[in-house]
Amino acid sequence: MDGVPATAEALTHPALVNHGAYTSFRVQAGGIRGLDLHLARLEAASIELFGASVGEDRLRGLMRDALGDRVDAFVRISLFAPEITHRTVTWTGRPRVMVGAFAPPPPLGPDVRVMPLTYLREAPHLKHVATFGLIRARRAAARAGFDDALFTDADGRVLEGTLWNVGFVRGDEVTWPDGPKLEGVTRALIAQGLAHVGLCQRTATVMLDDLDGFDHAFLCNSATPAAALVAIGDRVLAPAPELIARLTAAWSESPLQKI
């Protein structure tokens, strides 16, 4: 926390008050794909939630402190303010920074079955720490025999997954669903590289009733650049190893950025 090892006392506030934002990503060979996007999103969230930015140079320095000599890891950077509690809410200022460095997690794929669930995250444009709804949705999906949950609005418009963005493919065109959701960094990196792998893209409303019109679907996040969705509820989609390879190649077009 702020460059020093966390103590039990310092951890009390983030354990009890879920007001804050975070970002997470894989470190490979000492670099991160889309690091500039992760930090820009975190800075925007800091200003929105706390009224002040942390500063990119400070964030980079705290990341280096947490990583030490490790060049491969999974990093989570969280922002919080002990001055903000359930009873005291008016404080404004630069938040504290908690950085965790962990062993890289396994990917979510390769072939994932998801359960549609009507749910809209609070402040969906923010990657915030209020994750009760996400975990509850994943548990409900698991109890129903699925791997994960896919969120829709009350009208059946597809939005996002619990911890990932979703894309749909017909021919050589990727369709990104519109609507309130988190614009993930991995989604942005794939979008930047699609032309390099011969795929075009658009953003459009995607309804659950539209899914039969697509050939494939996929999820993407920082731990899983791309994995096929082979079932959405009772709709079965074909595995897509060649497509996943192209999407992963599109993501790989973005260079590793040094911390």
Question: Is 187 within 8 Å of 165 (Cβ atoms)?
Answer: yes
Interval 159-195: pLDDT, tens? 999 999 999 999 999 999 999 999 999 999 999 999 9
End-to-end CA distance of the chain: 18
Q: In this predicted structure, what is the pLDDT of residue 81?
A: 98
What pairs with residue 72 in β-bridges? none
Tokens encoding 101: 């460095």
What is the pLDDT averaged over residues 131-140?
A: 96
Q: In this predicted structure, what is the pLDDT of residue 119?
A: 97
What pairs with residue 128 in β-bridges? 21
Determine phi and psi for 87, rounding to 5 degrees: -105, -25
Spell out a b/e string for 130-147, using b for 16 or more CB atoms within 10 Å of the CB, else e: eeebbeebbeebeeeebb
Tell me the pLDDT band of 15, cut-offs 50, 70 and 90.
Answer: very high
- List every span in the chain annotated with CATH 3.20.10.10: 111-258
Determine phi and psi for 49, rounding to 5 degrees: -90, -30
Across the chain, mean pLDDT equals 96
Tell me the pLDDT band of 107, cut-offs 50, 70 and 90.
Answer: confident
- What's the whole-model pTM score? 0.95
Q: In this predicted structure, what is the pLDDT of residue 20?
A: 98
Helix (H) or strand (E) holding 168: strand 165-170
User: Considering only the top CATH level, what class is 8-102?
Assistant: alpha beta
- pLDDT above 90 for 241: yes
The CATH number for 111-258, chosen from 3.30.420.40, 3.40.50.10320, 3.40.50.720, 3.20.10.10, is 3.20.10.10
Spell out a b/e string for 238-248, using b for 16 or more CB atoms within 10 Å of the CB, else e: eebeebbebbb
Q: In this predicted structure, what is the pLDDT of residue 108?
A: 82
Question: Is 151 within 8 Å of 121 (Cβ atoms)?
Answer: yes
- pLDDT above 90 for 226: yes
Interval 33-76: pLDDT, tens? 999 999 999 999 999 999 999 999 999 999 999 999 999 999 99
- List every span in the chain annotated with CATH 3.30.470.10: 8-102
- pLDDT above 80 for 109: no
Q: In this predicted structure, what is the pLDDT of residue 105?
A: 86
